[in-house]
Chains A and B, each alone.
Chain A
Amino acid sequence: MSMDASAVHALFFYFFAAMTIVSALLVVLLRNIVRSAFSLFFTLFGVAGVYILLGADFVGVAQVLIYIGGVMILIVFGVMLTHNSYSVDMFNRLGTLVMGTVSAIVTFTIVYYSIRQVPWLLSGYKANVPTTQPIGVQLLTNYLLPFELASVLLVFAMVGAAYLIRSEVRPGKERAGGSERKDA
């Protein structure tokens, strides 16, 4: 019975891992940035599936809500707002392409052999329990200060982003009577 469960777990892991890796490769290899962006949807869904497999239900749902519901929408908007440049060649020159490939392969090789060699001190596989309540308790006790700082950071980021993309002076008009003309 437990062998069965771990086999099913392995099958789901390989499914989500393949989904994540294949769509991530498409994200970095496709020439059309709109297709890249939609491939990133599948990568983020695959990562959410990996979180669920790891018993992190709350983080998985947060991944779906924040990444897929928020970040991806922002990225698609960014792609659309800068639309005349998504048909240009997306890749750098050949030299950069070779250097990028070499860097990625070297990075993966180092990480792979490091992971294989380290004897991880594991304290056992924890059973899957609901994590929402312990996360909530942790956020309001041990991590209260980072929690509040994160909300302040989010406000700063939103205000800063809105400030950065406000329309102040139109490109054609000079700032002749700028002081009395508030942008409407």
Chain B
Amino acid sequence: MTILPITLTDYLILSGALFSIGVFGVLTRKNAIAVLMGVELMLNAANINLVAFSKFTGPGVDGQVFALFSIVIAAAEVAVALAIVISIYRVTRTIDLDKEDTLKG
């Protein structure tokens, strides 16, 4: 049995699968933090794409720099999103997204 060499296509398909799993998590979960985890999966899939294209096309490390910026912004996003989730929890005592259908403080 021979093993085919891994090309850009394999990395892109891995990233597409990870993204689809993230879509499933975001669409089906009721818990706000579980939805955040789905968003993290999708962000990681995008980062795999950036790094893979950086590896297989062109000189330079621009794709990796973009992935770094994406990681930084994801960290900021998680900090703010968890702060919002926790302050919602303080008011309503739940993080069930089906019950968070009001804009009342």
Q: Are B24 and A28 in contact (CB under 8 A)?
A: yes
- With a cutoff of 8 Å between Cβ atoms, the chain B residues found around residue A85 in the complex are 31, 89, 94-96
Known A-B contacts A107-B23, A112-B13, A112-B16; the reply to A122 vs B44 at CB < 8 A is no
Q: Is the interface of A mostly helix, strand, loop or mixed?
A: helix
Residues of A within 8 A of B30 (CB): 88-92
Q: Considering the chains assembled together, what is the distance between the CA atoms of A104 and B20 in angstroms?
A: 5
Determine the interface band of chain B, counting residues with CB < 8 A from chain A: 35 or more
Residues A71 and B20 in contact, CB atoms below 8 Å apart? no
A88 to B31, CA, bound (A): 9
A5 CB to nearest chain B CB (Å):
9
Instruction: Tell me how far the C-beta of A83 lies from the nearest C-beta in chain B, rounded to whole angstroms.
Output: 10
B10 contact set on A, CB distance < 8 A: 13, 17
Inter-subunit contact A66/B71 (CB<8 Å):
yes
Which one, B4, B52, B86, B96, contacts A165 given CB within 8 A? B86
Which of A11, A75, A164 sits near B83, CB closer than 8 Å?
Answer: A164
Q: How far is the CB of B44 from chain A (nearest CB, A)?
A: 5
Tell me if A24 and B16 are in contact (CB < 8 A): no
Q: How large is the interface on A (under 10, 10 to 19, 20 to 34, 35 or more residues)?
A: 35 or more
Q: B residues 9-56 with Cβ under 8 Å of A? A: 9-14, 16-25, 27-31, 33-34, 36-38, 40-41, 44, 47-48, 51-52, 54-56
A contact residues around B65 at 8 Å (CB): 135, 138-139, 143
Q: Is the CB of B78 within 8 A of A59?
A: no
Task: Please state if A111 and B14 are interface contacts (CB–CB under 8 Å).
Answer: no
A165/B31 contact (C-beta < 8 A), A24-B41, A54-B51, A85-B95 known? no
A sample of 18 inter-chain contacts (CB < 8 A) reads A10-B5, A27-B38, A28-B25, A36-B37, A40-B37, A67-B44, A78-B33, A79-B33, A81-B86, A89-B30, A90-B34, A91-B28, A107-B19, A107-B20, A108-B19, A108-B20, A115-B9, A135-B61
Give the B-binding residues of A (Cβ under 8 A). Answer: 6-7, 9-11, 13, 17, 20-21, 24-25, 27-28, 33, 36-37, 40, 43-44, 47, 50-51, 54-56, 58-59, 62-63, 66-67, 70-71, 74-75, 77-79, 81-82, 84-86, 88-92, 96-97, 99-101, 103-105, 107-108, 111-112, 115-116, 120-126, 131, 134-135, 138-139, 143, 146, 150, 153-154, 156-158, 160-162, 164-165, 171
